[in-house]
Structure 1
Amino acid sequence: MLAHKTATIDLSKAPGSREAWDKPKPVVYLWAVAERLFVTNSWQISSALRVKVLRLFGARIGEGVIFRPRTRVGFPWKLEIGDRSWIGEGVWIHNQDQVRIGHDAVISQETFLTTGSHAHRRDMALITSPISIGDGAWVTSRCVVLGGADVGDNALVSPQSVVKGSVPPNTIAGGNPLAFLGPRFPADGR
């Protein structure tokens, strides 16, 4: 049997995530309290109040957006959501980079959007890439959307899928690895 020596990474020396904050520490900590009280809170309080608090911390959110309970947003100043979109219960937007969600889009229950990863073969430094979800797109329940993902206009991602890379407009995609299943809206309108 061959002995295999592997290198280990001293995680105490790994570059931390604070470089992704883009705000002073007191603002980040104040957001953590506000998020817990008004956004992540499971009480069925007003969606308008959640949106108002997110905007207060720099989120660019359009009119008529529904933001359900138990949602999490890492950094509201890195979040943009178009008019009339719906963010379902339990959605976690872990946005160490920009997340843009278009108008009339739906992010369904328990979906996880994360813009961050780590240089796992080097020093575990934070690596971020933005996420874009197009107008009219629907990312259904319990999906994972990774940094660098671009979900096209009117695309649909089926439940429990993992999205990395691009999903073309008007496409139904699903699974892990992601497979393209056909058009969402057929050309003949049926």
Structure 2
Amino acid sequence: MTEFRIDPRIRDAARSAEAVRSTQLCFRINHTLPRTPECDALIRELFPDMGEGSWILPPLQVNLANRVKIGKCVSIMFNLLCLSAGGITIGDDVILSANVSLLSNGHDFYDRQIVTCKPIHIERNVWIGAGATILPGVTVGENSIIGACSVVTRSVPANVVVAGSPAKIIRRLN
């Protein structure tokens, strides 16, 4: 896992341009009638590499959409929050319920202006319950389920159900 740091006091024109693009597209998406060709086109503009058969129900907030990869047949309910400077990869056949937060960046404990970034990987066939939060550096293994309102602070193996804050394994799946 690659961790890196961003100092926002040092201007990065490309990152700033992507932040503006992402923020403005999210605003337009969030103010367009959902499930219409116009809204779908805006979502595809925000995520040009989104896999076939995937859909997102607005509203959503994404700070750097070019750092988010969405696989095929992914279902994302409303109020998705992606802080994506560290990178977010969502595998095929994933379900994200309402109010899910994917936070691939945070702040340094001592110099809080510094943004610390670690990637999030959600492997295929994962279901993330409503209100769950996935923190930086987490990988959610294939076929796993994250319970509603869970806070996932560590990587989750394949074929398990986790729940709680912090999330813990509560069941193994066959």
What interval of TM-score do these two structures reach, taking the shorter chain for normalisation? 0.7 to 0.9
Amino acid at match of 1:51: I
Aligned partner of 1:152 among 120, 136, 141:
141
Shift of 1:52: 1.6
For structure 2, list consecutive stretches of 5 or more residues without a partner in the other structure: 1-5
Shift of 1:182: 1.1
**1:52 aligned to 2:19?**
no
* Alignment CA distance shift 1:18-1:68 (3 Å): farther
Alignment check: 8 A CA contact 1:143 1:160 kept? yes
Aligned partner of 2:27 among 33, 36, 42:
36
Map of 1:142 onto structure 2: 131
**1:123 aligned to 2:141?**
no
Map of 1:179 onto structure 2: 168
Secondary structure of 2:82's partner?
strand
Amino acid at match of 1:54: L
Hey, what's the Cα distance between the residues in 2 that align with 1:166 and 1:42?
36
Shift of 1:144: 0.8
**1:76 aligned to 2:65?**
yes
Hey, what's the Cα distance between the residues in 1 that align with 2:115 and 2:138?
17
Secondary structure of 2:27's partner?
helix
Hey, what's the Cα distance between the residues in 2 that align with 1:17 and 1:88?
34
Superposed CA deviations along residues 77-119 of structure 1, whole A, max 9, x for unmatched, are 1010110001111111111111000000011100111111111
Q: Could you list the runs of 4 or more consecutive aligned residues of structure 1 that deviate by over 6 angstroms after TM superposition?
A: none
Superposed CA deviations along residues 33-67 of structure 1, whole A, max 9, x for unmatched, are 222002x3363243632432213xxx521101011
Alignment check: 8 A CA contact 2:121 2:139 kept? yes
Q: Between the two structures, name the one with larger relative contact order (CA 8 Å, sep ≥ 6).
A: 2
Matched pairs, number: 166
Deviates more, 1:135-144 or 1:59-68: 59-68
* Alignment CA distance shift 1:34-1:25 (3 Å): same
* Alignment CA distance shift 1:98-1:182 (3 Å): same
Hey, what's the Cα distance between the residues in 2 that align with 1:80 and 1:106?
14
Alignment check: 8 A CA contact 2:18 2:66 kept? no
For structure 1, list consecutive stretches of 5 or more residues without a partner in the other structure: 1-13
Hey, what's the Cα distance between the residues in 1 that align with 2:61 and 2:40?
15
Percent identity over paired residues:
20
Alignment check: 8 A CA contact 1:89 1:110 kept? yes
